[in-house]
Every structure is written in C-alpha cells, then in structure tokens.
Chain A
Amino acid sequence: MKTIKAVNNKVVEVNLTSGAIDTLTVAEDDRRNYLGGKGLALKLIYDRIKPGIDPLSADNILVLMSGPTTGTAAPTGGRFVLAAKSPLTGIFATSYIGGHFGVNLKRAGYDGIIIHGKAESPVYISVTSEGVTIEDASSLWGLDTYDLQEKEQEKGQWAVIGPAGENLVRYAAVVSGNRIAGRCGLGAVMGSKNLKGLVANAKARVVAVNTDGFKKALKIAQKKVKAHQNTGVNMVELGTAQNVMIYGTSNIMPVKNYTKPYFDKIKNISAEKIRDEHYVKNHGCFGCSIKCGRIGDFNNKKRVSPEYETIALMGSNLEIDELPKIAEWNETLNRLGMDSISAGNTIGFAMELNEKGMLKSELEFGKTGNINSILEDIAYRKGLGDDLAEGVKRLSEKYGGKEFAIHVKGLELAAYDPRGCTGQGLGYATANCGATHLSGATHSVEVGSYLQPYGTRGKAHMVKMMQDVTDVANSAIFCIQAQYPFLEENPTYKNTPDFILKFVMRYLPAVSAATIELSDFCSLVSGIMGYKINHKEYYKIGERIFNLERYMNCREGIDSTDDTLPERLLGEELIKGAPPIELKKMMKKYYKLRGWDDKGHPKPGTLERLNIAVS
C-alpha cells in the first residue's frame, strides 16, 4: 500500500467552466507559514481572488483542504475544511467537517482541491489515485444528501449538497457521511457552480515523517484525551448536548429569539434525557476516539441525535421541548443540506415577526406545527420559504425588526447568548466570518468562572489568544474538542490553586496568554511534519491566519462599524440588574492587542511582522 508522509504538497486545481484540471505544488513558504487546512485554503484563495466578486458567481473560488493531521492517528485527525467567499455574509468563510471524504482525498495524493468557474450542467468531481475527473451529475441533481450517498456508495466517500445547495439557500451546508459543514452557506457556493458533490476513493497510509517523535507525542495526547473530564467522560457519554443543562442553567442558551433567560422545559431536551430514553450508539468523525455524536431512537426511528446547537436553536429558541420533533427536523436539515444554527435563528426571527404582526405566517413560538414543511419550503424556495432562505439579516431588511435580528456580519449567532459571557460577545463581534462559536470561544472559561461572566477584565487578551490558537488548530486540523485536554490536562493548570488561576487570567492576562499550554499541539504537528514547530511559531501561525482573513475581509469593505453585536444583545436586559456588554471598551483594547488601527484595519507593521504580502 502506498504511504504518504504527512502531506502530499499537491493540490489539484479544477476549472468547471473550461474543464481544465491542473496540479500545483504547495510552496514551501506557504506550508510553513499557513500549515494546511484553514490557513492554506485561505492563502490559496487570497492569491487568486479579486475583491468584490459575487459569492454566487463563477468568480468565487471554493477550496476543500485537509490538514497535516488528516488521516493520521492524531486525536480528532479525520477532518477537513471548506473555504470560499460566503453568500450569506459576503466575506470569507471556512467550515469544518469530519466525514471520510477528506481522508480519502489525501490518500489519493492530494492535500486539497481548488474549484473555479461554473459547469454548464450538473457535475461531480471524482478523485482517485489515478487522477481527478469531472463527471456528469444530471441523474444525481435533486437527490437529498443521504439518498445520494447511499445510492452511489460504491464510488467512494462523498462531500455533497442537497436541494438547499442546488436552490442557493444562503445557509446551505455540505454533507459528508452524516457529518455536516453547516456554517456560512458554502453548500450554495457549490450549487452556484452546478457542483453536486465530490467523491474520493483511495487507499494509502498517512504516516508521520518523524515516526518516533509522533508516537511519543501521540501516547501523551491520547492519555490526556482519555483523562480529561470533557473528552474522556462527558463527550463520550453525553455528546455536545451535555451543554444544554450547562448553558441553559447559566442563562446562555437562547430562548424565544433571545428574549428569556431560562427555558422552563429544559430537562425535556437535555443530553441526560437523550441518554435515558433515546440513546442507541455513539458515532463521530473518521478515526476519532471521542465520537461525540450519537444515533438515537426517536419514536421507533433511528436518527442522528441532534447536537447542542441544533437543540438550542431549533428547541429552546423556538420554545419547543419535543426531542423527537427536533430529531426529525435535524434529519430533514441534514438531508436537505442546511445549517441548523442559521435555520433555527431564522425561524425564531420569523416567529417574532409574526408575533409582532410584521410578517404574518403560521410560525408561532412553542408550536411544532408545520416546521418540517417550512424546512422543505426553505430548501426549495417555495412561498415564505423563499424569504427564509435568505437568512435573518436579509429578512430584517425586507420586513423590519433590525433591532431583534440576531446576527453579526450576516451570520446568525451560535447558541451562546453573550449577555451571560461578555467575552464571547467580543469573540462574535470580531470573528472573521461573523457570529461563530468556533473562533475565540471564551464561553466555557467564562461559565467556568475563571474569567467572570460579566465585565471586561482579561477578556480582550483571552479572545485574541483563543482566536489565534483556534485558527492554527483549524489549520493543523484538530477538532475544537481536542483543545480542552491539550490546554487543561497538564500539571501547571491542574496543580495551580484556583484563586491563582483566576487572578492570573483576570489581572495578568498577558502572562496567561503567553504561558498557555500548546506543547501537545506542537509535538504532534512537529512529529507529523518532521520539523520542529515551537510554541512561539505555532502561535504566530494562528495570528498570521487570523490577520490574513481580516485583511481579505477589509478588502471587501469590512471595518470597525461591522465589529458589533445585535441591538437586542447590547440594549435589552436579559437578567434584571445584570451589567450590559461593554463592547466598546473591550474592542479598544482588542484592536490595540491586534495591531489594528481605529478603523479595524491591520496596520502595515502588523502585516509585515506576520509576513502577509499586501496586494
């Protein structure tokens, strides 16, 4: 069997308009500076794209990219990333997914694919170790994501869109197996290119360059994943839905379009309920030992059990406590290929519009009614569904309600209301793609009280650090769940008394940021790549990627006026007497730490320090 040492350094470039297929070698500088995954995908787009293009035009460039960990035995190393300009936000976006496509792509000898242009009729891209071809997909167009993959399973491992992507729903997802790259509408980018999917089929072994170094690092990392409360117990036993009780009790899980602090029927939608009444088995991404997903039995139907974000946005946010219904909608969303976070926010917003008489519909808080058929209507852009397919921001521009339209830069909020974790608010306001929880996620340290949930102390440092660390992890590629054991399962963190940890995080944030434990990330990646990456270099890669994306967005017109939060979250009190989010104060500090000017643009010196060539 063929062996791949760490990465192939080969990326295939496909032009769907002309049919041209070329292979390029990744420049050594790009590999060192951007590592792979998110970083490399963005750099390849940056080198090719013109600012101002329409995300749904043939000019948009879509990249699917694996990382150094993809296909190796590194914990959570089965994932890949999609990157393009988002039709939902008009700025750059990345979305992560753990289906088997990425591993097979890498095994076929390619680290990634760059896709340009637009095919004349539906096509799919086939990747094997013999090469890459563009194939006719007319007979596949119209199929849902599960049916397509089942029907065509002998061809290999797929990454596909459903009807939502075909119909250019602005939050259409890409599905591989039953894992979803949901955020930012990259499924619509595929649809706009007449690209129904990609399939990869190859056998090869992906091994580390420095086998001994990697083995040593792997042993330590695996031990930590097992030992950590979150990855060793909670995620395995309860999955991401464990967050329902944590964030619900902490007044962070959204309720009724972010108007109530607590959902009275919360226990009915909890992970504990799923475990007791619906659990069948765990499932997860390729090669992951945590397997945080689960299959459940809901009214005698075996379905993928909904994850925390889906339960929160399609459950408490709509004041719905029927798990079987939420599981049914989750499957509908997956089959049609749509992001449950954006869909739940959009439906919640439409319910409030209806309640206020601004857009009459049958959608009402607390009523399961016709939600399944509404989801179908969104995917096929029928009736009201056509408006809802545009997302919260555009819906508010058409029907009003800007003050309660919950999005940042056009991306609907993930399921963490920042009024109970203000650093997360700064994270949302500054995350490059909009209100994602996967960039600078500080909610867990704030809920865990290392940083106080309210106020501004230590928050700017923490947000910046988490954003940079996440960006490099997303380039390596590690799942966000790996961060918890790697950052926390070490003697310094475990043996330092709580009051000292809290003091350092709150009053000496620069020390806390500089001493964050990155050794597991560094040793795993160094082992895989065969050259040493130390703490400073690893961190700097993340900082570089974050600033490159910011700079790319600034070229699209993003500035400080976009770094804000929805009016409701800044102005409406959730809990009586709780202090408001002091966004301006945190932002000032944050810009300074980032080396950005008052307009939110990276200063020339910042770009130069990070070796980002301005174009």
Chain B
Amino acid sequence: MKKKQIKVTVELFGGLYVKLQNENYDFETGIELDMAEKSTPKDILKALELPFFKTMIFFVNKERASANTRLKNGDKLICLTAASGG
C-alpha cells in the first residue's frame, strides 16, 4: 500500500542555503515539499540532495527538534548549520 503523503514547508539557512543550488528557492518563503508520512528532517535533506552533518540544528514549528523527529502534515521545518562566534 502506498504511504500517505504529507506537506511540509522547509526553510534552509546558512551553509544549507548556500549548498542548495536552486535558483527558484527563496529563503524568505522556503519550499513546500510532498513527503511520505513520518518523514524526518534527515529524509528531507536527502530529498533535497543536501548533506547531513553533526552540527545541524532543526526547529519544527519553532520548537527545537532532532534530525529524527517525525514530521506531520503542515509542519514548518527550519534547518540551520553550525554556529560560530562573531
């Protein structure tokens, strides 16, 4: 049986934004993706052909999440890369 689909809005910042070589991506609005139910931030990165590395930070609907958090229909995912001093 085909898995149920969910819609997730994904916003990418920092190194991920740089790495996503997609001219149509607008960082102010993000991108809406159709994903299989229970997809995780890791799955989303894979779908966008982006790398995953240790120091990434994820937020789902403004709450801190992990790379393995299961996403629900209508969720807004924010993906950020390593922080530094400035």
Q: Tell whether, in the assembled complex, residue A267 and residue B27 are in contact, meaning their CB atoms are under 8 Å apart.
A: yes
Contact A437 B15 (CB under 8 A): no
A309 engages B86 (CB within 8 Å): yes
Known: A233-B15, A237-B15, A276-B27. A242 touches B54 (CB 8 A): no
Q: In the complex, what distance in Å separates the CA atom of A444 from the CA atom of B83?
A: 5
B71 to chain A, nearest CB (A): 17
Which B residues are CB-close (under 8 A) to A270? 13, 27
Tell which of A141-149, A243-251, A325-333, A509-517 binds the partner: A243-251
A20, CB-defined interface residue at 8 Å? no
- Contact of A322 with B by CB under 8 A: no
Residues of A whose CB lies within 8 Å of any CB of B are 229-230, 233-235, 237-238, 240-243, 245-247, 249-250, 262, 267, 270-273, 275-276, 307-309, 415, 437-438, 441, 443-444, 447-449, 480-481, 483-484, 488, 494, 498
Interface readout for B73-86 with A: 1 if CB under 8 Å, 0 if not? 00000101111111
Closest-by-CB residue of B relative to A488 is: B55
**Additional A-B contacts beyond A238-B14, A272-B27 (5; CB < 8 A):** A245-B13, A246-B57, A308-B86, A447-B83, A448-B55
Complex Cα gap A480–B81 (Å): 18
Contact B19 A441 (CB under 8 A): no
**Chain A residues in 8 Å Cβ range of B59:** 249
CA distance A212 to B19 in the complex (A): 36
Residues of chain B from 16 to 34 with CB closer than 8 A to chain A in the complex: 17-19, 27-28
Contact B57 A229 (CB under 8 A): no
> Are A449 and B83 closer than 8 Å at their CB atoms?
no
6 tightest A-B CB contacts, nearest first:
A240-B86, A308-B86, A245-B13, A444-B83, A237-B18, A272-B27
Residue contact B81 to A229, C-beta cutoff 8 Å: yes
List chain B residues, Cβ under 8 A from A230: 55, 81-82, 84
Question: Given A233-B15, A238-B18, A249-B78, are A448 and B84 also a contact pair (CB < 8 Å)?
Answer: no
Nearest-neighbor residue (CB-CB) of A447 within chain B: B83
Question: Are B84 and A234 in contact (CB-based, < 8 A)?
Answer: yes
Q: Which of B50-67 contact A (CB under 8 A)?
A: 53-55, 57, 59, 62, 64
Asked if B27 and A234 sit within 8 Å, CB to CB, the answer is no
Measured in the bound complex, the distance between the Cα atoms of B79 and A229 in whole Å is 14
Using A249-B80, A270-B13 as known contacts, say yes or no to A441 and B27 having CB atoms under 8 A apart. no
Q: How far is the CB of B52 from chain A (nearest CB, A)?
A: 11
Tell me if A250 and B57 are in contact (CB < 8 A): yes
State A481–B82 Cα separation when bound (angstroms).
12
Q: Considering the complex, give the chain B residue whose CB is closest to the CB of A244.
A: B13
In the bound complex, what is the Cα–Cα distance between A240 and B84 (angstroms)?
8
A272 touches B13 (CB 8 A): yes
The contact of A246 among B13, B18, B64, by CB within 8 Å, is B13
Give the shortest distance, in Å, between B41 (CB) and chain A (any CB). 13
Give the Cβ gap from B12 to chain A, nearest Cβ, in Å.
9
DSSP majority for the A interface?
A: helix
* 29 residue pairs bridging A and B, Cβ less than 8 Å apart: A229-B81, A230-B81, A233-B15, A233-B18, A234-B82, A235-B84, A242-B13, A243-B84, A246-B83, A249-B57, A249-B59, A250-B57, A262-B62, A267-B27, A267-B28, A272-B17, A272-B27, A273-B27, A276-B27, A307-B86, A415-B86, A444-B84, A444-B85, A448-B57, A448-B83, A481-B84, A483-B85, A488-B55, A494-B54
Q: How far is the CA of A494 from the CA of B54 in the complex (A)?
A: 8
* B64 to A: closest C-beta gap in Å: 8
Q: Please state if B80 and A234 are interface contacts (CB–CB under 8 Å).
A: no
A449 to B65, alpha carbons, bound, how many Å? Answer: 10
Contact A234 B81 (CB under 8 A): yes
- Cα-based distance from A31 to B4 in the complex (angstroms): 67
Contact of A437 with B57 in the complex, beta carbons under 8 Å: no
- What is the CA–CA distance of A250 and B65 in the complex, to the nearest angstrom? 11
Taking a contact as CB atoms under 8 Å apart, the answer to whether B85 and A481 are in contact is yes
Contact A233–B19 (Cβ < 8 Å): yes
What is the bound-complex CA distance between A369 and B28, given in angstroms? 27
Would A444 and B82 count as touching, CB distance under 8 A?
yes
How close is B38's CB to chain A, nearest CB, in angstroms? 21
Distance in angstroms between the alpha carbons of A243 and B53 in the assembled complex = 18
Residue among A272, A483, A494, A498 with the highest chain B CB neighbour number at 10 A: A272
Contact of B85 among A249, A480, A488, A494 (CB under 8 A): A480
Write out the residue numbers on chain B whose beta carbons fall within 8 Å of the beta carbon of A235.
Answer: 84
Q: Measured between alpha carbons, how far is A245 from B57 in the docked complex, in Å? A: 11
- Are A437 and B13 neighbours in the complex by a CB distance under 8 Å? no
Q: Which of B27, B64, B86 has the most CB of A within 10 A?
A: B86
* Chain A residue at minimum C-beta to C-beta distance from B51: A229
**Set of chain B residues within 8 Å of A243, measured between Cβ atoms:** 83-84, 86
Is B57 a contact of A438 with CB atoms below 8 Å? no
A275 to B17 alpha-carbon distance, docked (Å): 11
Contacts of A275 in B (CB 8 A): 18
A437 to B83, CA, bound (A): 13
Measured between beta carbons, the chain B residues less than 8 angstroms from A483 are: 85
In the assembled complex, the CB of B27 is this many whole angstroms from the nearest CB of chain A, namely 4
Q: Chain A residues near B19 (CB, 8 Å)? A: 233
A443 CB contact (under 8 Å) in B17, B53, B81, B83: B83
Contact of A484 among B14, B15, B84 (CB under 8 A): B84
User: In the assembly, what is the distance between CA of A200 and CA of B54, in Å?
Assistant: 44
**Distance, CA A238 to CA B79, complexed state (A):** 16
Asked if B57 contacts A242 (CB within 8 A), the reply is no
- Measured in the bound complex, the distance between the Cα atoms of B62 and A438 in whole Å is 28
**Cβ B57 vs Cβ A449 within 8 A:** yes
B62 CB contacts on chain A under 8 angstroms: 249, 262
Interchain nearest-CB distance for B40 vs A (Å): 14
Bound CA–CA A242/B14 (angstroms): 6
Nearest B-chain residue to A312, judged by Cβ: B86
Q: How far is the CA of A371 from the CA of B27 in the complex (A)?
A: 29
Task: State in angstroms the CA–CA spacing of A233 and B53 once bound together.
Answer: 13
What's the minimum C-beta distance from A340 to chain B, rounded to whole angstroms? 12
Which of B14, B18, B80, B85 is the one whose CB lies under 8 Å from A441? B85
